[in-house]
Structure 1
Amino acid sequence: MQYFKYFLAFMLSMFILIPLMMAVTISLNPSNTDILSNMGSWKSFIPQVFSFDNYRAVWSDPYHPFGLYLFNTFFITSISLTLSLMVNSCAAFSLAWGEGKYRKYILGAIISVLAIPGESLVLPQLLMVSKANLVDTYTVQILPGLANAFFIFLFYQFFSKIPKDLIDAARVDGFSLFQTYLKIALPLSKPVCVTVCILHFLGIWNSYLWPIMVTRGPEVRPLSVAMAAYFGSNQTQWGNVMAFAVCMAIPVIIFFLIIQRQFIASITGSSVKG
């Protein structure tokens, strides 16, 4: 049984890694003819040529400034991630320990939003940002993703399990609701914060539908939209396209490698110890 688990883990790993290996192999091959001839053989998964010409072409393309796209994506993701953690955790703590008898009804309304497909809200949001003259800005790519019903629910589930004695002790010490959240609840919620960080980072980094609707030129265009535009103008240059895709994936891999230890700890030790 133990060997079967190892075999299953190996097969799942290969299922995930093989497309990435193929993308890296194609990106390192400067000859488009060789790329097409190697398709369908083992040579398309193991690099035979190590050339960075495709990567240099991607970074030096004057019509598709990869450096600008990378900066835009980093800026939008980092600001959105920081503000999203604050907004969703504050809302969840208020619903868990705030005053007012309608908190459960508000929470129910928030959870019900999860049943609404996000695509159905795109058109009303687009009309709102157009009226506010926010199209083709960083702001329009940050604001709509700040409040997230699923993240609020995750934080609420965690905050509601904090021992009541701990919250009462903070109130006796003169802490306001916000001080209790900032100095007690938020430090305890590190496991949830890590989970939200990973989910939100991947969601914003790979977001395509909303950015393509609200961006016009390359000035504020993120990598996901730029990738589609680059593919449209380089459909026959598979090496360049794959080099673009690999460069886009590398920051995600680095981010997960940095945060993986905290992510594993969030899964194994997400309970609150009283």
Structure 2
Amino acid sequence: MATASNPTRGTGLRRVPGVLLRIVLALFFAFPIVFMLISSFKPDQQIFKDLGSIRAFLPVGHVSLANYRGVFDRVPAMRFLMNSIVISAVTVALGIVVNSMAAFALSRMRWPGRRLLLTLIIATLIVPFETFALPMVWWVNKLPWLQFDGSHLVITEGWLDTYRVQILPFVANAFSVFLFHQYFQSIPKELDEAALMDGASWFGVYRRIIMPLSGPAVATVAILTFLPMWNSYLWPLMVVQDEHLRPVMIGIQYFFQLNVSWGQIMAYSTMITVPVLALFLAFQRAFINSIASSGVKG
């Protein structure tokens, strides 16, 4: 008697090459991270001795936490980490609010010139940051700021060596506006009309309808805003001289002064990489969903 074929088994076999390919690619891209993590526990001599063999990716030999202790002895690593966390978190929070409100006005409200304005916003994406970095340094050094001097409110000039100079210039982001705009376009406009007929304001529509439905877009913007702020190096190097205000990336240059310790460099790199990986793993599903539903729309 003939045995009926199992379609599930055939489908599973066809998936094996794809699964193997993904595993190989994952291992390929994970090798630098694994090497960095393992090397952070080894002294310099052990790192160079293990190069060229599989031992470079294994916790063998003289393994200890000496490099991590050396990091905190060499630089104020915890201060740098806290600065980057504050700068990145505040920029992400303000960026989500500002960019989503701009995108809401461009995608849901009807007013003349909105398409031209959106085009101009998108056009700014082709301008590299390095071309206007120096003029922006001059401008932020001339900008006023209100602050208390004892019991009096005074106006000061210049934003250099402050947290605000590392945050406010990067709150508004053209790509975030575009991403929110594309996602908002996928939400039925009938929801707006129904809410407006019930007496809701435009801000009420934005806060109670649009934003609660835009979780994937919010997660994506959060990741895409957090990454460049966390990895920021050139701008803080130009505008921040106070060591107590510097972010983590500036701390890397401390390890190339005088005696270079590659083990400590690997330990410090591990410390500043783990938060980025944790953030992506926490929001990867929302990130993929947002890109799939809004990023490919024209």
TM-score if structure 1 supplies the norm length?
0.91
The answer for the alignment partner of 2:234 in structure 1 is: 209
Amino acid corresponding to residue 116 of structure 2 in structure 1: Y
C-alpha contact (below 8 Å) 1:136/1:217 kept by paired residues: yes
Cα deviation, residue 11, structure 1: 2.1
The answer for the alignment partner of 1:16 in structure 2 is: 29
The answer for the alignment partner of 2:216 in structure 1 is: 191
Whole-angstrom distance in 1 between the partners of 2:49 and 2:190: 69
C-alpha contact (below 8 Å) 1:25/1:47 kept by paired residues: yes
Q: Residue 244 in 1 paired to residue 278 in 2?
A: no
Amino acid corresponding to residue 273 of structure 2 in structure 1: A
Over 3 Å counting, the alpha-carbon distance change for 1:9 and 1:172 in structure 2 is same
C-alpha contact (below 8 Å) 2:192/2:205 kept by paired residues: yes
Cα deviation, residue 94, structure 1: 0.6
Amino acid corresponding to residue 121 of structure 2 in structure 1: I
Whole-angstrom distance in 1 between the partners of 2:52 and 2:86: 39
- Structure 2 counterpart SS, 1:87: helix
Whole-angstrom distance in 2 between the partners of 1:264 and 1:147: 23
Unaligned ranges ≥5, structure 2: 1-13, 144-157
The answer for the alignment partner of 2:51 in structure 1 is: 39
Whole-angstrom distance in 2 between the partners of 1:69 and 1:45: 28
Whole-angstrom distance in 2 between the partners of 1:99 and 1:270: 21
The answer for the alignment partner of 1:146 in structure 2 is: 171
Whole-angstrom distance in 2 between the partners of 1:116 and 1:265: 28
Unaligned ranges ≥5, structure 1: none
C-alpha contact (below 8 Å) 2:40/2:67 kept by paired residues: yes
Q: Aligned match of 2:112 in 101, 110, 116?
A: 101
Q: Residue 90 in 1 paired to residue 101 in 2?
A: yes
The answer for the alignment partner of 2:256 in structure 1 is: 232
Cα deviation, residue 258, structure 1: 2.2
Let me know the Cα RMSD of the aligned residues.
Answer: 1.8
Higher radius of gyration, 1 or 2: 2
CA deviation digits over 1:73-111, x for unaligned, max 9? 000010000000000000000111224211111111111
The answer for the alignment partner of 2:15 in structure 1 is: 2
C-alpha contact (below 8 Å) 1:191/1:270 kept by paired residues: no
Over 3 Å counting, the alpha-carbon distance change for 1:150 and 1:269 in structure 2 is closer
Amino acid corresponding to residue 114 of structure 1 in structure 2: L
Cα deviation, residue 269, structure 1: 6.3
Whole-angstrom distance in 2 between the partners of 1:234 and 1:256: 35
Cα deviation, residue 261, structure 1: 3.7
Q: Residue 115 in 1 paired to residue 140 in 2?
A: no
C-alpha contact (below 8 Å) 1:136/1:220 kept by paired residues: yes
Identity, % of aligned positions: 39
The answer for the alignment partner of 1:80 in structure 2 is: 91
CA deviation digits over 1:114-153, x for unaligned, max 9? 1212221212211111122111111011011111111101
Cα deviation, residue 256, structure 1: 2.0
Of 74-83 and 196-205, deviating more is 196-205
Whole-angstrom distance in 1 between the partners of 2:259 and 2:48: 13
Amino acid corresponding to residue 41 of structure 1 in structure 2: S
Cα deviation, residue 164, structure 1: 2.1
Of 86-95 and 46-55, deviating more is 46-55
- Structure 2 counterpart SS, 1:40: coil
